[in-house]
Amino acid sequence: MGSIEDSVEITGLSRDQVVLLGDSRHLADIAAVMMGDYLMHMHRGAEAVCEMICKDMRLALGAGRVDEARVLYATLQDFLAEYPRAARGAAPA
């Protein structure tokens, strides 16, 4: 069996994005990889990931966890740079 890093590559997400997915959903690394792979390969999966990051950012800000919100914002920026069509209002593929 390959490493987590090998598994992360098949999702289309970065290691950091998979770690944030696991942290926000309280999943072990391999479960986060599997969820990331599922999300990124489903119809409108990138949009779903974008919405999850935005929701987590809003929750962090609402709870006063500004440092966590900053990390999520940076993750969102990186994600949208790689998947610009995931942004709300983007032209459909």
Select the more confidently predicted residue: 93 or 28.
Answer: 28
Say if 28 falls within a structural domain: yes
Give me the domain span that covers residue 79.
4-85
Say if 91 falls within a structural domain: no
Say if 93 falls within a structural domain: no
Contact 25, 55 (CB under 8 A): no
Count: domains in the chain = 1
Say if 72 falls within a structural domain: yes
Say if 92 falls within a structural domain: no
pLDDT tens-digit map of 37-80:
898 889 999 999 899 999 999 999 999 999 999 999 999 999 99
